[in-house]
A and B are shown apart, each in its own frame.
Chain A
C-alpha cells in the first residue's frame, strides 16, 4: 500500500481533512477516521448495499470506493440524512411501516430511497422495487420497505 496522504472532502455538509492511504476503502475511512459508524459493512464486495452512501449525489457502495477517489467529493451518510429535515418522513415511515427489523441494512436502504425519491419523486411500486434492488435485506422480504417508500413519496407530493 502506498504512503498515506491528505484527503479533503465534504461529509454531511462539513469540510473534513484526513490522512489515509489512497487505496483504503471509503467505508473504513468514514467509520474509523470520522467515527461515522452508521454506514455498515455487509459483504465487502459491493453486493449487499449496506455500505451505501451518496457521493456527489450518486448512490455508491463505499466498500468499493478508494478513499483517494473521494478527494473533493461531497459525501452524505445516514448521519447526514438523519439530521436533515427533508428526510424526516422517510425515517418516520420506516418506523411505522416495519421497514426496519434488525436494522443493519436500514442506513443503506434509506440512502437508496433518498436517491430514488430525489430522481423520481412519485415512483410506481415497480420503480421502487427496481430502485432498491441493489440493497439486500434478509429480514423483511422488502414489502414493508417498499410500502414505506411509497408512503414517503405520497406524503412529499401531497405537501
Chain B
C-alpha cells in the first residue's frame, strides 16, 4: 500500500495492521499465553441475590492444601473496584447484593481441579429480601443502595414546557421498554497476573482501558503507580463489555498471584462470563408530547428510568448519554427531561456500544411513528417537519453550527430503500397471504467523545516516537479490539507526516510504555485521539527539521535516514501532544446545558421486515444504513463498523433476550441466548455522507456506536407497518408478536360487537 507523496492514505482501504496475524492464527490472545509455574484461578460467587454471609465451610473430598484461597481479608489496599463511586467490593465479606457477587478466589495448578472445589465451598447466608425490577426499586420496597436506591438522576429544562399543553392540537403519550443485552464478545474475559516484590504487579489481559485497570489496582493492592503495570493483549471483541469489568477480574487474578507467589491465569467460561459480567441497562421511557395540527412538536416531557443492577459502575455516565440523546435529531422548542438510574439486586449493568443512546432513541423513534399515526401523517413527513436545522438548538441548547442535512439524507435513504413503492405494494399484499411485510424508518444522532467537560478532565496524552531503524511508532493506551484503532491511527500519522503507511507502527498498549490517551470508548478514538496523533506526528517532523536533520519536502527515504541519524546522535526521539478543549465550548454540569458533544454523527436507517403469520417470527429482508460521519478514514473498516453495529442492533430488536430469574441470567449459554447468524442477516446496504468536522482528525467524527442506535426502532416501526399493531418494547420475540396480534384481534372484534349492537 502506497501513501507517500501525492497519495492520500487517509480515506484509503489500508489493510488492517494486525490482520495478517489474525487470518493465520498467529495472533496471541490472553488464553494463548502461558508462564512457567502458572496457576489457574477461579471465583466462588454468591448464589443468592441479597443477604449476609454467616459462615464459609470448605467441604470434604477436596485436597484444600493444594489450593490457594483468597478472601476479602487478603486485600492489602481498599476492598473496592475504583471507578466513579467506590461502592463495589472486589470480594464480598459481610453482605452480598447480587446473585453472582464474588466472595472467594481459588487457584490450582490444574485447570480441571477448579470446578469441583468451587462446588465444595459451602456458604451459609442470612437471606434478605431482594428487589429485581425498576418499579420495585422506585417504590422503595427495599432500600438496597443509599437513601432511595437512586444511583444518579439528571434534569434538562429547555424553554417553558408547562405553557405548551394549552396550545397543543394533540397530546401524544407513549411508554417504551428495552431489555438487557449481552455484549457476547466471542473471546471471554481473561487476565494473567504475575507478582514480583521488586517490580510489583503485572497484568496482561483482554481489555479496553489499560489505565482504568491501573487505577483500580493501585487502590485495591495499595501499590505505588510505578508498581502496577497493565498490558493489553490481542482482544477478541469488547463492545463496552471490557471497559470496566476487566478491573474486577484483574483484581482477582492479582490477589491470587500475590498470595501464591506464582503467576495466575483467570479465564471465564461462557456461562460465567454471561451470568456475572455487565450487560446493557434495561430501560423504561415515557414521552408526553404537545404537537400542532401541522405536525410540529411544540414541546414535551421525557421521563427515563434505567436498571443499574447492584452497584454504580458506569451507570451515571450511561444515563447521561441516554438523557442527552433522548430528544433524537429533532427540534424541541421546549422540553423537560427527567432521568434516573436505580439499584436492583442483579449484577451491575454497564457499558455496551451505544451507552444509553440505543435505549433513549428506541423510545424517541417509536414515539415519532406514534405521533405520525395520531395525526394521520406519514412516518417520513413527521420527521421531515421536525428535523434539526443549522442554527437551531438541541435539547441541551447546543447550537447546531456545522452543516446538517437531515432532510436530504432522509430523502436519499427512502429512495435507496425504494420506500414509497414498497410501502404501497406491501399495503396491498398484506391483506392476504401468510406473510406480512413492512417498512420502518429511524432517524438518529450519536455524539462523539466524552460528554460535556469529560474530554477536558481526561486530558489525554499521545506520543509518537522516531525509532532507531527510522520507522515511526505511535504510543497510545488506545486499544484495538476489532474496530480498527491500530489501522486508523497509523493512517493518520502516515498522512500527517507524508510517510508510507508501512513506515508507521503502533506500540502494544502497556502502561510502562505508553502515555494515557484515555479509554477506548465513546467513539472518541479516531476523532479525539486521532487529532492528537496527527499533532504529535507533526511535532516529531518539526523536531527533525529544526535540528537540521530533515529538509522541507523531503522524500520518505530521507525521513527514515534523518530519523535514524537523530536517534544515533542524540538518543530518544519522541513527540507528545496533549488534549486542549476547543475555544467556545461551554457546558454546565449542574443544569445539563450547553455543548454536550464536540460533534454529532447523523443517520437515517430504513428496514424492510417480514412477519410470518404462522410462526410469528420477524425477519429483516433489506436494510439501508445511511450516515453522515464527517470523513470516512478507511472505507473497508468504516463499512465494517456499520455492518457489525447493525447486526447487533437487529439482535437487540428481535433475537437477544436475557431471561431473569431472581436477579440471575437463566439463559447464560449461547444455546439459548440467540445472536444473529449469517443465515439471519439481510443484505445490509451501507452509505456514507461526508460533511467534515473541524474538531476531528482529517474531518473524522465518531462512528463505532452510531450503528447500534437505529436498527431496533427501524425494525419495530416496520413490524407495526406490516401488522398495523404497535409494539412498545425490545427484544420483540415471536411470542410477543403473537400476543400483540391476538390482543389487537380481540379489540377489533369487541369493537365490531359494540358496533353491531348499537
Contact = CB atoms under 8 A, between A and B. Distances in A.
Interface of A: 1, 31, 36-45, 47-48, 50, 77-79, 82, 91, 94-107, 110, 128-130, 132-146
Given A43-B670, A82-B25, A139 B636 contact: no
Contact of B644 (A42, A139, A146): A139
Given A82-B24, A95-B20, A47 B187 contact: no
Most-contacted residue by chain B among A82, A106, A129 (CB, 10 A): A106
A138 B239 contact: yes
19 contacts: A37-B25, A37-B31, A40-B31, A42-B187, A44-B270, A45-B669, A91-B23, A95-B16, A95-B23, A100-B16, A102-B185, A102-B186, A129-B681, A132-B678, A138-B184, A139-B640, A140-B640, A141-B644, A141-B647
A110 B643 CA distance: 19
Given A37-B28, A79-B25, A96 B15 contact: yes
Most-contacted residue by chain B among A82, A96, A138 (CB, 10 A): A138
Contacts of B239: 138
Contact of A43 (B19, B669, B676): B669
Contacts of B25: 36-39, 77-79, 82, 106-107
A100 B22 contact: yes
B679 A138 contact: no
A47 B640 contact: no
B670 A101 contact: no
A144 B639 contact: yes
Contacts of B15: 95-96
Contacts of B29: 37, 40, 104
Nearest to A128: B678
Contact of A98 (B24, B237, B637): B637
Given A91-B24, A143-B683, A97 B636 contact: yes
Contact of A47 (B19, B188, B234, B670): B670
A10 to B, nearest CB: 18
Contacts of A99: 23
A107 B27 CA distance: 10
A97 B239 CA distance: 21
A36 B32 CA distance: 9
B235 interface: yes
Contacts of B614: none
B589 interface: no
B648 interface: yes
Contact of A44 (B13, B112, B269, B640): B269
B284 to A, nearest CB: 27
B408 interface: no
A107 B26 CA distance: 10
B32 A37 contact: yes
Contacts of B643: 140-144
Contact of B18 (A96, A103, A130): A103
A48 B16 contact: no
Contacts of A103: 18-19, 21-23, 27, 234, 236, 482
B53 to A, nearest CB: 30
The 6 closest A-B pairs by CB, nearest first: A38-B25, A104-B236, A102-B482, A103-B22, A141-B647, A78-B25
Nearest to B677: A133
B432 interface: no
Contacts of A141: 643-648, 676, 681, 684
A136 B677 CA distance: 6
A102 B637 CA distance: 12
B670 A40 contact: no
B439 to A, nearest CB: 20
Interface in B1-46: 13, 15-16, 18-29, 31-32
A143 B270 CA distance: 25
B341 interface: no
Contacts of A95: 15-16, 19-20, 23
A103 to B, nearest CB: 3
B684 A133 contact: no
B67 interface: no
A138 B184 CA distance: 7
Contacts of B647: 140-142
Contacts of B639: 98, 144
Interface string B47-72: 00000000000000000000000000
B481 interface: yes
B675 A136 contact: yes
Contacts of B679: 129-130, 133
Contacts of B24: 38, 78-79, 82, 91
B428 interface: no
A105 B186 CA distance: 7
A119 to B, nearest CB: 17
A14 to B, nearest CB: 16
Contacts of A106: 22-23, 25
B32 A94 contact: no
Contact of B237 (A38, A97, A102): A102
Interface string B211-243: 000000000000000000000001111110000
A143 B684 contact: yes
B344 interface: no
Contacts of A47: 669-671
A39 B27 CA distance: 11
Most-contacted residue by chain A among B670, B677, B683 (CB, 10 A): B677
A45 B270 contact: yes
A42 B484 CA distance: 21
A133 B482 contact: no
A101 B678 CA distance: 16
Contacts of B236: 40, 102-104
B636 A144 contact: yes
B483 interface: yes
A101 B18 CA distance: 10
Contacts of B676: 141
